[in-house]
Amino acid sequence: MDKFVIEGPSTLSGSLEVGGSKNTALPLMAAAILAEGETTVTNVPDLRDVHTLSKVIRVTGPDVTVAPDDHTVTIDASTVDQPVAPYELVKKMRASFYMLGALIGRCGQARVSLPGGCAWGPRPVDLHIEGMKQFGAEIELDEGYVVAKARGGRLEGGTFRMEPSSVGATVNLLLGAVTARGGSRIENAAMEPDVVAFGEALKEMGAQIDGLGTRTIEIQGVDGLDPIRVRNTPDRIEMGTFMILAAMAGESGKPFRITNGNHEHLGQAFKDYFRGTGVNVEYTNDGAIVTPPESLTPVSIRTETYPGFPTDLQAQWTVMLATADGEATVTDTIYDDRFKHIPELQRLGIDVSVNGNAATVRGGAKIKGAQVMSTDLRASVSLVMAGIVAEGRTDVLRIYHLDRGYENLAEKLRAAGATIKREQYDEFAEPSIQK
């Protein structure tokens, strides 16, 4: 198993480059199944999840070519003859459940394993299943699989209101509805840029969709879609992560550049909170320039669905607050069990406590290197960020979580001045104990 070894503290300088969005690339790959022919997605990050979904898609029949050096995935869906997504692959990643909508949309039927994914908090697929039923699918559960069939080979269409709003369910319902016989409506739909970019790609393929970026999406089913070549969007969560890291670990008064990002995808709430810390930020056509202040002002945040503060950035914000002068609170209204990184941060000396769905951070405590363990994707990167500003050595274990969402993170951070390397270790080795 691999870990990161970080020697701190480090002061970062220069720039960090944002990669392609995993959260948009995976739905785009699933959408390729809907079109008979060859679809190419560019600006795709070289991540474990991309390779996992590629394997899932291959099982169903298409040829998939992943070119990591070119950040390109090509899917020839001329043949889709096995509408099955097996447990052995789907258990590794929740986004594999997009195969439900994609296979119903292309084949009129699907047998998809219930998903796995990050180890924190329940993220049920009830909305996906109930939405498909409202759109005309007959669904039953069979030994851990969702077995779905559209009468006559195509969904009828219908109306479904999501409570709460869900990115994953919005994507899945779009995949199924674009080839339905009739019209469909998704109410309380997700408004995230990932969903909008995905929906725009479906429209380019020939889908008839109105209302992207609003709470109500209307779809009129078409007989089929056409293959396209489409560029994936930049990763807004990676951009936000790098901005937070620059604010807490950059040199006071010295500009730090974030490149290849799209600041409009961050949402206004994040921008407002971030500026409130005293950081000087200039947004550019391809990213942002962040200039850290002498001292960060602690700003309490509350996560909300887009355009609110992203839940995927709250762990990173927590670490930044530990370097600020004062006390602030991080409240997560999206998931009620997303603070498993807090005990690990405490091991590093960060003064933080949890009460319900809120974490209170008292900045100014000395951060010292320690051995810590990743529990999920965003928690992992928060531990790396803490290690960069900690005194001494920090070992971040189980970084396979990080590999799901950040491409070449160690290399990027080293280029910006961090002392970080990747090493193998034995998870089950007996510790050496000095008497």
**Res. 431 pLDDT band, cuts 50 70 90:** low
What whole-number distance in Å separates Cα of residue 35 and Cα of residue 137? 20
242-259 residue pLDDT tens: 999 999 999 999 999 999
88-124 residue pLDDT tens: 998 888 889 999 999 999 999 999 998 854 443 444 6
Question: What residues contact 213, with CB distance under 8 A and at least 6 apart?
Answer: 191, 196
Please tell me if the domain spanning 2-19+234-424 has the same topology as the one spanning 22-231.
yes
The single-letter code of the amino acid at 320 is M
Give the per-residue pLDDT at 120: 34
Identify which of 198, 262, 222 has the alpha carbon closest to the alpha carbon of residue 29.
198
Give the per-residue pLDDT at 119: 40
The correct answer on CATH 2.30.40.10 for the domain covering 2-19+234-424 is no
Quick one: what percent of the chain has pLDDT higher than 70? 97
Total H helices, total E strands in the chain: 13, 24
pTM: 0.94
| 290-313 CB burial, b ≥16 within 10 A, e <16 | bbbeeebebbbbbbbbbbbbbbbb
Half-sphere exposure of 141 (CA within 13 A, CB side): 7
Fold of 22-231: UDP-n-acetylglucosamine1-carboxyvinyl-transferase; Chain (3.65.10)
Given 32, 50, 118, 379, the catalytic residue = 118
The single-letter code of the amino acid at 230 is V
57-66 residue pLDDT tens: 999 999 999 9
For β-strands 352-355 and 358-362, DSSP reports them as antiparallel
Give the per-residue pLDDT at 118: 42
Per-residue pLDDT at 222 exceeds 80: yes
Residue ranges for the binding site for UDP-N-acetyl-alpha-D-glucosamine?
A: 94, 123-127, 312, 334
Structure tokens at 379: 């928690």
DSSP string of 11-74, one letter each residue: -B-SEEE--B-HHHHHHHHHHGGGBSSEEEEES----HHHHHHHHHHHHTS-EEEEEGGGTEEE
Residue ranges for the binding site?
A: 22-23, 94, 123-127, 312, 334
- CA angle, residues 182, 187, 191, in degrees to nearest 5: 115
Per-residue pLDDT at 83 exceeds 80: yes
Structure tokens at 389: 């500003």
300-347 residue pLDDT tens: 999 999 999 999 999 999 999 999 999 999 999 987 778 989 999 999
Per-residue pLDDT at 10 exceeds 80: yes
Yes or no: say if 159 and 185 are a contact pair by the CB < 8 Å rule: yes
Please state the domain extents for the chain: 2-19+234-424, 22-231
Residue ranges for the binding site for phosphoenolpyruvate?
A: 22-23
The answer to whether 118 is a known catalytic residue is yes
Give the per-residue pLDDT at 405: 86
For the chain, the average pLDDT equals 94
140-155 residue pLDDT tens: 999 889 999 999 999 9
Give the per-residue pLDDT at 401: 87
